[in-house]
Amino acid sequence: MFNRRNLLHGMAAGAGAALGFSLFPNQMFAAATPGTASSKIGSTSPKRVIFFLQNQGFDPATCIPEGMKRSGSLAGKKLPEPIRPLEPFKDKMHIINGLHGLHTSPSHSAFFGALGGYRGSDGVPPSGPTIDYELSKVLPETLLPHLCIGMDSMENMTTKPTLATLSASGAGQPIFMHSNPNHLYQMLYGGISTGDIRRQHEAKSTLLNQIESMAALGAKSLPSQERQRYGQYVQGFQDINGLRGRLEKVSDHLRKFAPEVDSRYTKPEFETDWHDVLLDLGISSLTSGITNTLTIGSGRGEIFGSWKGLGIAEQGHNLGHMDQPGNPIWIKIRQYNSRMLVRIMEKLESIPEGSGTMMDNTLIVYTSNNADKQHTSGANWPVVLLGNIDRAFKTGCFTQLDGSRPINALYTALLHAVGAPRDRFNMTDQLAKKYDSGNGPLAEVLT
């Protein structure tokens, strides 16, 4: 017998995520057929962007090779110990230092402002779309245009299987991160599963269909203004039910990419077991072509986070009060993150796409939702780029900026790289007069 409360909890995870996008009948997969031209119209290979955000800040000393003070090549340079696992991919790397996020007022975290490039704070709703969502709109449509996953302590991930702190589709429209891999697996692969997962998927599907019908009928008796607001709620159920139906129609394709479910899903020893399988699900969503925009929040954009599986007893807010350079605790966390990035890149490099591999058409943005440290002003916001998204970005180099251009300029460069040029992203001319010395994309990172 299924617990109705648990089903509704899982249902909320799916519906909450669905509120961040709309589905269309003609949506396709992001990945091209191996060894052939893209599955999209024309011969251009599909592009994809991944955001990986670590909480508690990204100290520049943990990513800039020792002695590098000026812009230059990374050839012959040794990466700092915290990101040492990325050494084999140094030629695909671009380290950027000197961007700022002063206007985001980050303090403990910039929350939605980290990817939105606007002021953010704890409990404050987003004031506009974030760059990951904007990119998902521009990139070719997929079954699930944008997937967000969040990693935290077991307690937080269990009690709050979804949380919205980093991504948004517009003002007051947060997008939820999935933190329970069992819920996410059911959403993506429930239709091709067997046993308990299949039974739970079918029970949830029946319940969601019933709720959608009941919700649609209930709206008819409401005043017009309330009916419009209620309609958005109904649309959320229609979206998630539509997604489920479309995923089931391509079940034969999805079987090739679905991760194996093991004890880490149902009986995790540490929170890192869930972190690892969440990453597996994120990678599978990219390699299967379900999505082309993935956002990963290590710490879920807040001041918490736990890595007991790495042998680290300290967790949460206290970690942010520890200096990162030379700290064995932060070295473990950073290296763990770096190994996650390596797993993504190695998997994408193993899959042919067009005349190269999936990684050739991918860009990973590795940074923090809190600039350089906890309790920061946001005056320096280090970023590491991995990949070049079809040769659009310079690689194998370090760029030192003067601190006069905001993170918005980098986000504008991302939009230029995917064919959606604009002068600014989420920054008015009035705000730019105070916080941006230039106009247009960050030229230093583009080829």
> What CA–CA distance (Å, rounded) separates 74 from 53?
23
Sign of CA dihedral 440, 171, 111, 180: negative
H runs (alpha helix) in 171-314:
181-189, 195-218, 224-249, 251-254, 263-266, 271-287
Instruction: Note the CATH number of domain 23-186+266-445.
Output: 3.40.720
SS3 label, residue 61: helix
> What CA–CA distance (Å, rounded) separates 198 from 211?
20
The per-residue pLDDT for 39 is 35
Sign of CA dihedral 404, 407, 413, 416: negative
The per-residue pLDDT for 34 is 42
Out of 105-119, 164-178, 179-193, 404-418, which region has the weakest mean confidence (pLDDT)?
179-193
The per-residue pLDDT for 252 is 86
Which residue from 232, 228, 76, 54 is spatially nearest to 151, judged by alpha carbons? 54
- Which pLDDT band holds residue 229 (cuts at 50, 70, 90)? low
Residues 237, 208 contacting (CB under 8 angstroms): yes
Domain edges within the chain: 23-186+266-445
For the chain, helix, strand, coil in percent to 5 are: 45, 15, 40
The per-residue pLDDT for 40 is 34
Does the structure show a pLDDT above 80 at 224?
no
Return the ∠ at Cα 248 (arms to 247 and 250), rounded to 5°: 70
Residues 35, 50 contacting (CB under 8 angstroms): no
Pairing of strands 383-386, 147-151: unpaired
List, for residues 8-37, the tens digit of each pLDDT value.
Answer: 333 333 333 333 433 333 344 555 444 333
> What CA–CA distance (Å, rounded) separates 300 from 308?
16
List, for residues 150-178, the tens digit of each pLDDT value.
Answer: 999 999 999 999 999 999 999 999 999 99
- The amino acid sitting at 204 is K
Whole-model pTM? 0.86
List, for residues 59-78, the tens digit of each pLDDT value.
Answer: 999 999 999 999 999 999 99
